[in-house]
Structure 1
Amino acid sequence: MQSVLSSLRNTVIAGFVAAVVVIVVVGIFVSWPSFNESWWAFLFRWLHVISGIMWIGHLWYFNFTQIPTMPKIPDELKPAVGKFIAPAALFWFRWGAMATIVTGLILAGMNRYIGDALALGITDGGISTPIGIGMWLGIIMWFNVWFIIWPMQKKALGLVEADADTKKKAARTAMLFSRTNTLLSIPMLYCMIAQSHGGFL
């Protein structure tokens, strides 16, 4: 067991193996999944949720932990955060965002609501579902990650050439858009959960 838990890669593989074991155990004692279109849609929903946890978890880590704590860290220790921790966290942050958006769009396509959702599900009676609002908030957040936050962070962290003034401005811009995404994540998560559990049709 120690060899599994000592390696993140092995831990994640073991987690997916454990999920397969749960599927088999439930199949034997309760009922097997039908592995039809609905099951595949469920699988993509599960992957969408896992990806979203990776994304929003890192977003909230940056905003609730790293950014507020940085001023308290002694100057001689700050380079370790900027050189090692932040680039690694940004990797999982941006690819979590990409996986979330891709699995979400696949899921919406499989469930045949992608057009209605992207059009905000507007009917004569108004907005019929919150999922479209949630999707657009997620798309805006994904855009911010890939086209504003990540390019600015590359400058701020010195991953691309930039002078001191540019680095400072880039760090500020990245922080403001990261805070924007934190703000948007709260109504976005409401919309996503409300679709299935909030009494909406």
Structure 2
Amino acid sequence: MDAIVWEWVNFMLRWLHVITAIAWIGSSFYFVHLDASLRRREGLPKGTHGEAWQIHGGGFYHMVKYNVAPAQMPDELTWFKWEAYATWISGFFLLVVLYYRGADLFLTDQTVMELSQWQAIAISAGSLVLGWVVYDRLCKSPVGRNDTALILTGFALLVLAAWGFSEVFSGRGAMLQVGALIGTMMAANVAHTIIPNQKKVVADLLAGRSPDPALGKEAKQRSMHNNYLTLPVLFLMVSNHYPLAFGTGHVPEIVALVLVVGATIRHFFNSRHAGKPTPWWTWGVAVAGVAGIIWLSALGPNADAVAATGNGAEPVEFAQAEEVILTRCSMCHAEMPAWEGLPAPPRGVRLDTPEEIQRHAGQIRLQAVLSDAMPPGNITMITPEERRVLAAWTNRAN
């Protein structure tokens, strides 16, 4: 019964996380689009940056942005913060329920580094705090006054973090950890910079003081960081479902390419919304980046074993592959899993009969040959020789 309850807790948290993320990303994309589409026209109130007319749902909307703040505080003001907070909170609880609770399966890999569950959790949680502090201090340093230098330095630090995580966690855990770090930075931008700066502006208006323009400039810089990081963080969060993304031993390189691809796609749309010349080159960069990711995924940890299964290779009988699978996989992938906490075989995949093994040959090749995704965290200590057996058999079976 406990396993069933935890499975539904996982499901409900994932559902909540997706809902709140949609709300946060939607509002973020909308306001960046609105800010880029503002145009200056005669007759606008003093101190305004520009206006935009929009139509949606059968109604017309007239948007006006002030450079710093209006002359007096309006009676009603809508704050956009709870979407970010709810997304991070639900995501952190999902991290706890899935990755911290199941650290031996999803977070660690004893062949990468021998870690206890609590050691892995401490490194994971501590790196989220440390990552935010380093990023925040970087933004407030002299480097932060130059957007280009800040972007390049931040990019290098994220790739370095990806390399560090890949030296500590499983590929799945490392990819997820980079996503959690970026998500933490984004949510902390809202909680510790954007909203506090907006509150200072409101307090100045209520006190009859002129707000400091630097507050708005700093908040906008962090908001743009969030905008350009949104697509990469979505890739990293979804990657745990795709073994060729996390299980081929190239986490830092793939993270680097994803950061570039996501940022160039956002640059294309931001430029279009601003009425600037259309940067069609961004799609060339994006396609090249995706091609690079696919190429890296083909250079998996078992590439030599795959190459050795071509024409003329010594055949492997099904019985040899079956022995490996029953020894290393079927304790989870069985009608009644023997692994504690699993109420049913993951994704409904059973590997406890010859017929089921034959039927899932393609998935076995993807998960255990073309990548090291399975067994998760190599919890059953499958050997390279056993993977070569699976490579040879699945090559014939497919």
TM above 0.5: yes
Pair 1:125–1:78, CA change in 2 (3 A): closer
Deviations 1:127-185 (A, max 9, x none): 613111000000001110011111222344xx21164460x222211111100111121
Return the alpha-carbon distance in structure 1 between the equivalents of residues 169 and 77 of structure 2: 43
- Secondary structure of the structure 2 residue equivalent to 1:145: helix
Structure 1 197/169 Cα, relative in aligned 2: closer, same or farther at 3 Å?
same
Q: By how many angstroms is 1:124 displaced? A: 4.6
Tell me whether 1:101 sits opposite 2:88 in the alignment. Answer: yes
1:184-199 correspondence to structure 2 within 5 Å: 184-197=229-242, 199=244
1:69 aligned partner:
37
Contact kept in structure 2, 1:117 and 1:133, CA below 8 Å: no
Q: What value does the CA root-mean-square deviation take over the aligned residues?
A: 3.2
Q: Where do residues 89-168 of structure 1 align in structure 2 (5 Å cutoff)?
A: 91=79, 93-113=80-100, 115=121, 117-118=124-125, 122=165, 124=167, 128-129=171-172, 130-156=175-201, 159-161=202-204, 163-164=209-210, 166=212, 168=213
1:40 aligns with 2:9: yes
Which residue of 2 is the match for residue 174 of structure 1? 219
Contact 1:117 1:135 (C-alpha < 8 Å) held by counterparts: no
Shift of residue 126 of structure 1?
7.0
For the 8 Å contact 1:47–1:103, the answer to whether it is kept is yes
Q: 2: CA distance between counterparts of 1:179 and 1:79? A: 17
Deviates more, 1:135-144 or 1:117-126: 117-126
1:43–1:164 Cα change, 3 Å: same
Alpha-carbon separation, structure 1, partners of 2:33 and 2:97: 35
| Compared CA separation, residues 124 and 136, structure 1 to 2 (3 A) | closer
Contact 2:88 2:187 in 1 (8 A): yes
**Equivalent residue, structure 2, for 1:30:** none
- Work out the number of aligned pairs and report it: 160
- Structure 1 counterpart of 2:340: none
**1:57/1:87 Cα in 2 relative to 1: closer, same or farther (>3 Å)?**
farther
Pairwise CA distance, 1:123: 5.2
Q: Can you give the 5+ residue segments of structure 1 that lack an aligned partner in the other structure?
A: 1-33
Partner of 1:78, secondary structure, is strand
One-letter code aligned to 1:95: W
Contact 1:117 1:131 in 2 (8 A): no
Alpha-carbon distance between aligned partners in 1 of 2:200 and 2:38, rounded to the nearest angstrom? 18
More relative contact order, 1 or 2 (CA 8 Å, 6+ apart): 1
Structure 2 length as normaliser, TM-score? 0.35
TM-score between the two structures when normalised by the length of structure 1: 0.66
Q: Give the share of equivalent positions with the same residue, in percent.
A: 26
Q: Structure 2: 5+ residue runs without aligned partners?
A: 46-62, 104-120, 128-161, 247-372, 374-398
Structure with max Cα Rg: 2
Instruction: Provide the C-alpha distance between the structure 2 equivalents of 1:42 and 1:148, rounded to a whole number of angstroms.
Output: 32
